[in-house]
Structure 1
Amino acid sequence: MTMQSYSRREEARDTVPPAEAIYVYEAPVRIWHWINAVSIMVLAVTGYLIGSPLPTQPGEVSAHFLMGYIRFAHFTAAYLFAIGLAGRAYWAIVGNHHAREMFWVPVFSREYWLDTFAMLRYYAFLGPTPRQFSGHNPLSRFAMFFVFLLVSLFMSVTGFALYGEGAQAGSWQQIAFGWVRPLLGQSQGVHTWHHLGMWAILIFVILHVYAAIREDIMGRQSVVGSMISGYRTFKK
């Protein structure tokens, strides 16, 4: 599907009668979603502690490995996050058309922007309930691409750049991402941007959870449950 193919007529295939269920999210997408959610939680907590370490522990330094465990958890979650993102990109190619919605936005479509502004008015309690979508609505699609996906790529690149600094010259992380540090102000600059990216992801997560629960209640459709069963249902 190309960006020019977005139209109300084609999107009508995703608009279903009330109480009917359609299969939207395939198993790999659902598995990735929940693994990704856990990874982000671990990355946020451990990343914050890496940036603002806990007070010094009593006793001999050699008896404590707390920061080592925190860093190990952060690196493990980071690899899960990055590998999961690559796997999600692969499934966008081989999966159904809903799997591709996160990776492109029909920015040249007038109908898309009309639907997006209708969703904005709806979320601001200024407009009526817009038409329903089986997959991501236009506003969530915009947020998934321009906020979640792009910031996630930025976090992966800056994260591996910082990891390469510790892995030192010759490591694949340093070879592949060593160019990032001088571009963003050396090590401290990359740390700062990486830290700010974490807060951007957390703000997105808060709004994402709010919007999903709100749609379950006010939109009369299953949103949270659809990421468990894969089916989107609509109520009268």
Structure 2
Amino acid sequence: MTEATQIHGVLDSHGEKAAELQSVYVYEAPVRIWHWVNAAAIVVLATTGYFIASPLPSTPGEASSQFLMGYIRFAHFSAGYVLAVALLMRIYWAFVGNEHAKQIFYLPVWDRKWLSGVLYEAGWYAFLVKQPKKYIGHNPLGHLVMHLFMLNLAFLVVTGFALYSEGAGRDSWQYKLFGWVFAIWPNSQDVHTWHHLAMWGVILFVIIHIYTAVREDIVSRQSLISSMISGERVFRDEADK
């Protein structure tokens, strides 16, 4: 934590009053690296996944000279591996990192302050309350949404490798680890459909995530965007008590 003019009214992720401060180191380097690697992988996966689901029109000429869809599938599979490895590393860091690295992997649904915080933040984002609350980590609503995002991400990884195993074959490690998905959805087209819908869920999350990050930086006077670069959450003015 840097020494500076201190402010009041800062809360931890459960809504408890934290020490008076202006800035605090929240997101460690591995978390920040995961965030940006994950973002880049999602851009590649969403773009290539769209064209895999809705292929480009056929082009004239010798087939051996037209390998565009092959390149698109290769980029999709490569980004999928990056996403999966990054997710495993992020799970590992939840065990060895600081308390903020663990936050999105569990929901304190037994905590009344957290539950009321979810409702308060929903009102804040809906412009139904006038004053924002300042949190060191994710606010309760952001905490809930990030948890659901991680579950959706895991679903994409599992179904993605299950679909990949169809081409890799029944002897592949992909099928041995993820072939059980077809016991739930015997028709692989159903797996394709759910995988596709889950990616649209990620796209919706990204739109909301960018909007709220920019909005909080401006309206709540607390850093979100720069926090994923420096790791430090900065509170720029005094909150109402």
* 2:84 alignment partner, one of 82, 85, 90: 82
Counterparts of 1:1-236 in structure 2, within 5 Å, are 8=15, 11-13=16-18, 16-17=20-21, 20-146=22-148, 148-236=149-237
Superposed CA deviations along residues 180-212 of structure 1, whole A, max 9, x for unmatched, are 123124210100000000100100111011000
Structure 1 counterpart SS, 2:135: coil
Q: CA shift at 1:7, angstroms?
A: 5.1
Q: Output the CA distance in 2 between the equivalents of 1:109 and 1:41.
A: 36
- Give structure 1 regions of 4+ aligned residues with deviation exceeding 4 angstroms: none
**Structure 2: where are the runs of 5+ without partners?**
1-12
Q: Output the CA distance in 1 between the equivalents of 2:20 and 2:226.
A: 17
Q: CA shift at 1:16, angstroms?
A: 3.9
Which stretch shifts more, 193-202 or 178-187? 178-187
Q: CA shift at 1:87, angstroms?
A: 0.4
Which stretch shifts more, 54-63 or 211-220? 54-63
Q: Output the CA distance in 2 between the equivalents of 1:28 and 1:7.
A: 24
Q: Output the CA distance in 1 between the equivalents of 2:99 and 2:45.
A: 30
Are residues 173 and 7 of structure 1, via their aligned partners in 2, closer, same or farther at CA, if it must alter by over 3 Å? closer
Matched residues, number? 225
**1:3 equivalent in structure 2:** none
**Structure 1: where are the runs of 5+ without partners?**
1-5
Q: Output the CA distance in 1 between the equivalents of 2:50 and 2:182.
A: 20
Q: TM-score, normalised by structure 2?
A: 0.90
Q: CA shift at 1:21, angstroms?
A: 1.3
Contact 2:34 2:90 in 1 (8 A): yes
Structure 1 counterpart SS, 2:55: coil
Q: Output the CA distance in 2 between the equivalents of 1:181 and 1:222.
A: 44
Q: CA shift at 1:66, angstroms?
A: 0.7
Contact 1:181 1:189 in 2 (8 A): no
Are residues 16 and 76 of structure 1, via their aligned partners in 2, closer, same or farther at CA, if it must alter by over 3 Å? farther
Contact 2:14 2:140 in 1 (8 A): no
Q: Output the CA distance in 1 between the equivalents of 2:118 and 2:23.
A: 24
More helix by share: 1
Q: Output the CA distance in 2 between the equivalents of 1:182 and 1:50.
A: 24
Q: TM-score, normalised by structure 1?
A: 0.92
Q: What is the RMSD of the two structures over their aligned residues, measured on CA atoms?
A: 1.2
